[in-house]
Each structure stands twice: as structure tokens, then as C-alpha cells.
Amino acid sequence: MDAVISILVLMIGFAVAGALASGYQLVTARPASFNIFGDGTRPAAVAQVPFLVFAAPFIIMRNVLFGTRVDPGNFVAAMIATIVAGVWSLMSGTVFLLLLKAVGGL
């Protein structure tokens, strides 16, 4: 039963990441990336940290998929990035569900 819950939380984490990254791309007409901070001196950079915390699994997997098209022989790097994105998605999905529960959404 715990494995099923973990898989559901993992999928929720990826869904939230995809929704955030797609919403960002809809608003700004450019894909979300880790270098949205620019030089990091703007006060808006602080507001971008929570966005990146939740959107990172999608950004990582998108970069892996585009990277394997360019260099298909780098399997180990793709595998490590997929594991990192999966664990990150599991953690951000857990935080998202806890936040949803705290505001009375569950």
C-alpha cells in the first residue's frame, strides 16, 4: 500500500512541475530553465526560488530528453538525472500535498 501511495505522490509531483513549467511558458513565451535568475541581483530572484523548487523535476527531465537527442550515448548521465528528478518529484509532491492539506484542500 505504501508503494502505491509513493507512486501517486511521485505522479502528483511531476504533474505540479509540468503545470508550473507550462504555465510559465504560457505567460512568458519561453521555456522555464534554471537560469531564469539572470545575475541574481534582482529582488524578483527570491520569488523565483519556490517556482524552481516545484518545477525542477520537469525542467530536469526536459533537459534529459533534449540531451539524449543530441548525445544518445550518455546513458549513465541520463539515468542519474532521471533518478534525481524522480526523488525531487517525490519530495515536492509530498510538500505539495502537505500544503494542500494545511489549507483544507484535502
Task: Give the 3-state DSSP-derived string for 11-61, with helices as H, strands as E and coil as C.
Answer: HHHHHHHHHHHHHHHHHHCCCCCCCCCCCCCCCHHHHHHHHHHHHHHHHHH
**CA 88/CA 91 separation, integer angstroms:** 5
pLDDT at 71: 74
Nearest to 34 by CA among 51, 22, 46, 47: 51
Instruction: Kindly state the DSSP code that residue 101 receives in the 8-state scheme.
Output: H
**Helix, strand, or coil (residue 73):** coil
**CA 34/CA 52 separation, integer angstroms:** 7
> Over the stretch 63-82, which tens digit does the pLDDT of each residue have?
998 877 777 778 888 899 99
pLDDT at 41: 64
Domain boundaries, the chain: 2-102
> Over the stretch 22-67, which tens digit does the pLDDT of each residue have?
999 999 898 888 887 666 666 767 778 889 999 999 999 999 988 7
